[in-house]
Amino acid sequence: MLEHGELWGNCGGGDNPGVGHQGPTGPGSGGPSEREREKEDKQENTEQNCAGNPVLIATGTKYQVEHDFTVANSLLGFGRLYFQRSRHEGSLGKIWRTSYDYQLAVQANEIGVKQGLTISTPDGRQQYFYPVAGTQYWLDSNGKLADLLTTESGDWVFKQGEVTFNFNAKGQLIAMSNDNEAINLLYQHGRLAEVVSTTHRSIQFSYHDSGLLSQVTDANGAAYTYDYSHNGLLSQVSFPGGNHKRYFYEDQRHPSALTAIDINDKNYASWQYDEQGRAISSEHADGAERTEFAYLGDLKTTVTNALGKQTTYQFTEINGQKVATEITGHAGNYCSSANQGYEYDDYGRQTSQTDWNGFVTTTAYNERGLITESVLGAGSASTISKQTEWHATLDKPAKVTTAGSITEFSYANNGDLTLKLQTDRLTGEQRQWRYDYAYHDNRMLAKLTIDGPRDDVSDITVTRFDLQGNTLSQTNALGHQVQYGDYDQMGNPGYKVNINGVTTEFDYDARGRMLESRLLTATPAITRYQYNAMGQLIKTTRPKGDSYQYEYDAAYRKISESDAQGQTKRWLLDAAGNALESSITGESHAWQIETCLSSAACLLNATQITEQVDDYRQQRVFDSLSRVVESRESGSLNSRNEYDVQGNLLSTTDASGNQIHFSYDQFNRKIAQTNALGHSSTFAYNAQGQLSTVTDARGNVTEYQYNGFGEKVAQVSPDGGTNQYQYLAGLMISETTANGIVRQYKYDPLNRLSEVSENFQAVFSYVYDSCNYGIGKLCQTQQDDNNHSRYSYQPSGQLFELRSRIDGNEYVQQWQYDLNGNITERYMPSGQRVKSWYNRNNRLSYINYNDQALGWDFDYLAFGPVKAWTSANHLKHGIEYTQQRQVSQIVTSNVQHLQYQYDEVGNISAWFNHAQHFNQSFAYDALGQITSIDNSDGWQDISYDAIGNRLSLTTQTDSDWYRSAFDSNRLLAITGAQQRQFDYDANGNIISEQTAEGAASYQYGRLNRMLSHSKNGQTTHYSYNAKGQR
């Protein structure tokens, strides 16, 4: 049976590109709610059932789901469903149904005894029920007791999931309800005239003289109109705002088969059919996402995707429904063949799935058809299982058991969750959440209170709702409140007041898409949005007037993005929507840099040039499953990839032919990685599926231990020793290091770190919410040495002032911003002032210091780094890049000229300092580690062990050898030209060093930070602030 909100499932709805930028939505809307689940008669909506846009694989039946509008937090809305083989004829003409087209029909014998009952749903599916002799109960076709009863008046009440359907004695749907809301369907002359909600909202229906639906008016009063062809098929829908969608049925053999959809008179989608009316192709405009279907009898179908990959589905019929028993992926470009199998019980429920590698997952059900156990790796030595016990009367879990934890749920009589209790099976620790509800007189939720999981502080959060289910306020455990209001009838908020009392206002178009947001500070910051016919964002205009534009192809896939200066990112898409090529173009203003290998005056007589450049291009090759198998930048090869049949990456090969290989276990977890030099690291996992050990290429093992909640409680490493961790409600409250130091962490009721201490002495403290516009932000940090930092903020949320006390001295910094949030002024502790100006792309264009110019004429690569500027001493600076956007030259007039060369994998192979007449070249091993350096002063050769520890350094005059511990990666000594020895503490920090020049010692303080370094009688001290900055 259909449940609201479940229509699309894994198949998709057919006319929902889901690609590109989506505009912002108000906090009350949450985007469109999908109201129905679409599938064929009694067919479960699983990934092997449909393909293309969309077509049911087993039968070739085309179906289409259209959501014209939804009302936030409500059962109200209007959708349309096309099911090709339906014989339905109703208010939308032939074939098409509305989302309210439910129908109940009773089958009785000649003396009126009920023998069966059928409920028809908007997707054209029928569910059958049979009476239990001598009782008032009914069973569905799966043998499950149905929540179905009749009233004394002859009406029927049926509950599916959380939605209750009421039918009158004629079988018409007259009401729907859930725990919060009821909607009543009102009929005139046998036709649906109005749907009225207990939230005092409604939608109205108007009809042509023919009796076909002509108009639906949503809760805001916006009108949707419907027109029909001469043979009674829906031909056009016109939306508020002027967009329209047309439907075509042009196959004369099958006059009701949907063959095309146009949006604003431009083709968007099309389908073709065979002699039997089965869909044989589906595609979007210009061939995008083309999918082809070939039928090999009644129980086998081969699907060819947009990239030519063929997959054959073998079906069997169980209990009146076709279910896939085997899926065969054919060998193709970059893809090997593979098989996947399924088994079912007598009711058509999947009991076993065998993946492409033969790995089996089993599923068991109770007598109500609810999943009680799933086992991954069934029949093997290693399994991962999950058991579920269900509430006695609700289709909701009462207990869920995994390897690490048990989660128990309690519910009120109406099905509201009241308690969630989570128990660590390894330690017995418990975490608890409590939920409390209050309701308006119209049954809508008025208040939701959540308490938990902490028991050391009050962590209660409260959300309040209005009579229509819109959020009015959200109050956290400290009483900070966010407010919303001025909702329209579709559930879109007109304003939001944040926890600092700053208001943002919102405007929407007739379809509920945000057109404008206004942050009401001293000078309002206004952002505007524009959309295309599919509701995708095509333009954003920021508060200073700069705009960003987005372009889509005829299939509504994003193909370009342009900034305020006309610089553009473009994507060339293949038929499946993969980006075969990404390019960046834009107008460049830069200094023309001469090639000056013998002079440093490269920019002395430079002139600024303007040119249209295509300065970056990336190409990718995909296999027929849309996996990247090759990537290039500006024509140069970057990498090649290979995959196994499960889609796991098996190897990657760089431009030099160096390969990294990966291995996986039956759960598709990585268990080994072998680098290009043949050195391997291995990985193991615990019963909960978490990483438990890592063994490096030298055989050193790092071990990880976890509690039942999945939190790391210990890490044992040969380099860092044993570290242990404790938690409270998911927050780490204690850490014991390898040298026995115990660190404690405290948190405020919002789970923000409030204090760090070591061995029960406070080190750092953090204060929130107490400064100007600082609710929800860090306002003060305090250190145990009396140093501190205090913060305050702008109404727009940016940092305004930082007052720092360091060793008795106070330093003050302040910032100012423009409407786009760019820093325009910064006042330094010395009293100096830095001012900045920006171009239309919000990038620095001019900067001065105490009103004296520091830099100007800044220019940038399109969507990239800086490439030219002039500094205060009128020196002209230029940076040139390769087509891969690597720095190729750095030039400063009369001062500097550096040039860089790269190998095929992007390592610097040589650099030239033309001004100083000094050059260096570099060689690398297959891992990208430098193995030799050559310059005019000499050469160096370097070698490494299996994990990258240095083994030797050889020059033309002497050599050094490096010795690491056999059971860790700690460097113990350097011998040869250098003589150095190192000692470590339990945490792995160097505490002393012996050299030919004398001994050095290192001391570490709280949080394992270095406090001092002493050598030859001289000591350097270090201090840190509460953010860990030196």
942-1000 residue pLDDT tens = 999 999 999 999 999 999 999 999 999 999 999 998 899 999 999 999 999 999 888 99
Domain that holds residue 702: 669-749
Exposure of 1030 by Cβ count < 10 A (0-12 exposed, 13-18 middle, 19+ buried)? exposed
Of 576, 57, 60, 573, which Cα lies nearest the Cα of 308? 576
Residue 657 confidence (pLDDT) above 50: yes
Residue 49 confidence (pLDDT) above 50: yes
Of 262, 259, 267, which Cα lies nearest the Cα of 287? 267
Please write the tens of the pLDDT for every residue from 468-526: 999 999 999 999 999 999 999 999 999 999 999 999 999 999 999 999 999 999 999 99
> Which of 32-36, 271-275, 447-451 has the least mean pLDDT?
32-36
Sheet order of strands, 114-120 included: 103-108, 114-120, 126-131, 138-140, 145-146
Please write the tens of the pLDDT for every residue from 1010-1025: 989 999 889 999 888 8
pLDDT tier, 330 (very low <50, low <70, confident <90, very high otherwise): confident
- 1020 token code pair: 């350097």
Give the pLDDT score at 369: 86
Residue 1030 confidence (pLDDT) above 80: no
d(CA 379, CA 353): 12
For 112, residues 6+ apart whose C-beta sits below 8 A from its C-beta are: none
Q: Hey, what's the torsion of the CAs at 239, 244, 245, 246, to 10 degrees?
A: 130
Give the pLDDT score at 114: 83
d(CA 136, CA 119): 17
Residue 257 lies in a domain: no
Residues above pLDDT 90, as percent of the chain: 77
pLDDT tier, 717 (very low <50, low <70, confident <90, very high otherwise): very high
**Cβ proximity of 732 and 725 under 8 Å:** yes
DSSP 1025: -
Give the pLDDT score at 9: 32
What value does the mean pLDDT of the chain take? 90
Residue 450 lies in a domain: no
**Mean pLDDT within 892-918:** 93
Give the pLDDT score at 614: 56
Would the pTM of this model clear 0.85, i.e. be above it? Answer: yes
Exposure of 609 by Cβ count < 10 A (0-12 exposed, 13-18 middle, 19+ buried)? exposed
Exposure of 662 by Cβ count < 10 A (0-12 exposed, 13-18 middle, 19+ buried)? middle
Give the pLDDT score at 182: 95
**Mean pLDDT within 114-142:** 86
Q: What is the count of structural domains for the chain?
A: 1
841 backbone dihedrals φ, ψ, rounded to 5°: -95, 15
Residue 597 confidence (pLDDT) above 50: no
Give the pLDDT score at 338: 66
Residue 28 confidence (pLDDT) above 70: no
Residue 447 confidence (pLDDT) above 90: yes
Give the pLDDT score at 599: 39
Residue 682 lies in a domain: yes
* Cβ atoms < 10 Å from Cβ of 466: 19
**Cβ proximity of 338 and 645 under 8 Å:** yes
Give the pLDDT score at 760: 85
Residue 933 lies in a domain: no
Residue 568 confidence (pLDDT) above 50: yes
Residue 26 confidence (pLDDT) above 60: no
pLDDT tier, 696 (very low <50, low <70, confident <90, very high otherwise): very high
- 714 token code pair: 């210990």
pLDDT tier, 587 (very low <50, low <70, confident <90, very high otherwise): low
Residue 744 lies in a domain: yes
Residues above pLDDT 70, as percent of the chain: 92
Residue 144 confidence (pLDDT) above 50: yes
Which of the two residues, 46 and 815, has the higher pLDDT score?
815
pLDDT tier, 652 (very low <50, low <70, confident <90, very high otherwise): very high
Residue 328 lies in a domain: no
599 backbone dihedrals φ, ψ, rounded to 5°: -135, 145
Residue 711 lies in a domain: yes
> Which of 95-109, 611-625, 872-886, 996-1010 has the least mean pLDDT?
611-625
d(CA 81, CA 92): 10
Residue 221 confidence (pLDDT) above 70: yes
**Cβ proximity of 568 and 556 under 8 Å:** no
User: Residues 173-202, buried b or exposed e (16+ Cβ, 10 A)?
Assistant: bbbbbbbbbbbebeeeeeebeebbbbbebb
Angstrom CA distances, 736 to 706, 715, 744, 989, stand at 15, 11, 9, 16
Give the pLDDT score at 455: 94
Residue 333 confidence (pLDDT) above 70: no
1008 backbone dihedrals φ, ψ, rounded to 5°: 65, 30
- 412 token code pair: 């009120």
Residue 44 confidence (pLDDT) above 90: no
Rounded to a whole number of angstroms, the distance between the first and last alpha carbons of the chain is: 63
d(CA 207, CA 230): 16
Residue 454 confidence (pLDDT) above 70: yes
Indicate the residue type of 971: L
3-state class (DSSP) for residue 830: coil
Which of the two residues, 378 and 124, has the higher pLDDT score?
378
